[in-house]
């Protein structure tokens, strides 16, 4: 589990570095304000054609992100080593910067004027390709031992994933209030093909994010942020969250919930009128506390809103924390750190056999864990 946690954390960090084209986004008055917004399925053929003629072809898509900004910005492309990783970016000759045009259109349609695509070929070369206003361009390639190792963990994006428009539509009921209040919010529609480490793997997912913060790490202050995760093959919304006072300019990467907790010792008892689940915490990482995740019970795509309760129990059978399904908060003990040997207990006054308990990352923890009932 320790290796998996490190691998996932590093892979996610690298993807954010690449897909958000950091560092140093700055406003560029000279950038054009007109823009042609495309969805993922519209931008992908352009990126594929651009990749096919570069360095011998044979490219497989690993990840992509559509970026939306209310103001035009320009970013110098990263050169040399990315952060502290042994991963170097080499810009294609003549490509010293990247321009993100302003966009005043509807954010809820999943369209963006700028899309970034990460491809890998059979030789292990990784290329970054940009599609801006419908025009494809190879920005550069990545190399280095850690870089190769990380990208080898990423799975290609399946051909049957839903479009960004469908991902945005899936989260629209949860995002509607946010976008009504902030129609010019920055937006990001990002898809990854998945991750595989040993016998563990994660499938393709869409990340949909809206923010009042500008797409610039130099931006100061705080802003409101909406985040959602969508299963990229089924279209099911995995998690949603809204933070009203997020730090603008911060690119800190959340830990993944699956890499921070390992479960074991599961016991389930169901009757026509009750369900009881007990699951032990076998491994803990990254200083996770109980309020670093919320919980919901799902019957297929339908959320079961009541009739169940969740609590955290110590090895000596003392209640450590209590979760309130109605408010989606820990009503007591939420800030207490989770320890090996603690247990999660779900009790319900109805038969939940065949349903699932979904744990959804919160705060600095992302992703989800599904426990079948």
> Cα–chain-centroid distance for residue 309?
28
**Residue-number span of the structural domain to which 226 is assigned:** 2-253
| Length of the chain, in residues | 373
Q: pLDDT tier at 138 (50, 70, 90 boundaries)?
A: confident
Domain finish residue from 224, 253, 282: 253
How far is residue 329's CA from residue 323's CA, in Å, rounded to a whole number? 6
Phi and psi at residue 250, to the nearest 5°: -85, 130
- pLDDT mean over 310-315: 92
Number of domains in the chain: 2
Helical spans, DSSP H, in 182-323: 257-260
For residues 176 and 191, state if they share a domain: yes
- pLDDT mean over 85-110: 75
Q: What is the pLDDT of residue 6?
A: 35
For residues 227 and 287, state if they share a domain: no
Q: pLDDT tier at 272 (50, 70, 90 boundaries)?
A: confident
The position carrying tokens 């700055």 is 26
5 compared with 307, residue with greater pLDDT: 307
For residues 120 and 224, state if they share a domain: yes
Which residue, among 255, 243, 238, has the nearest Cα to 358 in the 3D structure? 238
Which residue, among 190, 76, 189, 202, has the nearest Cα to 139 in the 3D structure? 76
Domain finish residue from 193, 222, 253: 253
- Reported as a single tens digit per residue, the pLDDT across 212-259 is 887 754 555 678 889 888 999 999 998 888 888 777 764 444 567 777
| Helix (H/G/I), strand (E/B), else coil: 297 | strand
- pLDDT mean over 139-158: 78
Q: What is the pLDDT of residue 370?
A: 83
DSSP code per residue over 41-74: HHHHHHHHHHHHTSTT--EEEEEEEEEE-SS-EE
For residues 10 and 121, state if they share a domain: yes
For residues 289 and 203, state if they share a domain: no
For residues 262 and 244, state if they share a domain: no
Q: What is the pLDDT of residue 2?
A: 32
For residues 216 and 166, state if they share a domain: yes
Which residue, among 226, 230, 227, has the nearest Cα to 238 in the 3D structure? 230
For residues 112 and 201, state if they share a domain: yes
How far is residue 268's CA from residue 373's CA, in Å, rounded to a whole number? 7
- Reported as a single tens digit per residue, the pLDDT across 36-56 is 899 999 999 999 999 988 877
Q: What is the pLDDT of residue 31?
A: 33
Helical spans, DSSP H, in the chain: 2-19, 40-52, 145-153, 164-181, 257-260
Lowest pLDDT segment from 93-107, 108-122, 132-146: 93-107
pLDDT above 90 as % of the chain? 21
346 compared with 251, residue with greater pLDDT: 346
Mean of pLDDT over the chain: 78
Do 202 and 209 meet the contact criterion of CB atoms below 8 Å apart?
no
Preceding omega of 23 cis (within 30 degrees of 0): yes
For residues 232 and 335, state if they share a domain: no
For residues 135 and 232, state if they share a domain: yes
pTM: 0.62
**Residue 332 belongs to domain with CATH number:** 2.60.40
Lowest pLDDT segment from 68-77, 261-270, 341-350: 68-77
Domain finish residue from 219, 253, 287: 253
For residues 194 and 287, state if they share a domain: no
| Helix (H/G/I), strand (E/B), else coil: 283 | strand
Q: pLDDT tier at 93 (50, 70, 90 boundaries)?
A: low
For residues 247 and 265, state if they share a domain: no
Retrieve residue 120's tokens: 């890998």
Q: What is the pLDDT of residue 178?
A: 92
pLDDT greater than 70 at residue 27:
no
């Amino acid at each position: 589990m320790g290796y998996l946690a490190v691998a996932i954390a590093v892979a996610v960090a690298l993807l954010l570095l690449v897909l958000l084209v950091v560092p140093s986004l700055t406003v560029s008055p000279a950038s054009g304000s007109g823009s042609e917004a495309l969805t993922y399925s519209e931008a992908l053929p352009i990126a594929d054609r651009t990749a096919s003629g570069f360095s011998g072809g044979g490219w497989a898509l690993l990840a992509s992100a559509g970026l939306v900004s209310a103001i035009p910005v320009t970013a110098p492309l990263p050169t040399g080593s990315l952060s502290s990783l042994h991963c170097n970016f080499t810009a294609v000759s003549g490509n010293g910067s990247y321009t993100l045009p302003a966009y005043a259109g509807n954010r809820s349609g999943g369209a963006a004027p700028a899309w970034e695509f990460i491809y890998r070929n059979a030789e292990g070369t990784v290329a970054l390709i940009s599609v801006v206003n419908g025009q494809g361009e190879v920005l550069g390639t990545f190399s280095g031992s850690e870089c190769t190792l990380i990208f080898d963990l990423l799975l290609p994006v399946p051909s049957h994933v839903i479009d960004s428009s469908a991902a945005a539509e899936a989260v629209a009921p949860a995002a509607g209030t946010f976008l009504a209040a902030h129609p010019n919010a920055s937006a990001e529609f990002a898809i990854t093909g998945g991750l595989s480490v040993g016998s563990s793997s994660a499938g393709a997912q869409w990340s949909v994010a809206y923010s009042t913060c500008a797409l610039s790490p130099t931006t100061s202050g705080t802003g409101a942020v909406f985040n959602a995760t969508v299963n990229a093959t089924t279209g099911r919304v995995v998690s949603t969250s809204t933070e009203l006072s997020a730090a603008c300019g911060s690119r800190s990467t959340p830990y993944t919930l699956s890499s921070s907790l390992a479960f074991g010792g599961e016991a389930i008892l169901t009757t026509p009128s009750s369900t009881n689940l007990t699951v032990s915490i076998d491994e803990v990482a990254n200083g996770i506390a109980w309020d670093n995740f919320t919980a919901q019970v799902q019957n297929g795509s339908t959320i079961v809103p009541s009739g169940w309760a969740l609590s955290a129990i110590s090895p000596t059978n003392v209640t450590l924390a209590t979760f309130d399904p109605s408010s989606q908060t820990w009503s007591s003990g939420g800030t207490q750190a989770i320890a090996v040997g603690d247990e999660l207990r779900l009790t319900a006054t109805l038969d939940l056999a065949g349903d699932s308990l979904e744990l959804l990352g919160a705060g600095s923890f992302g992703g989800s864990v599904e426990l079948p009932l």
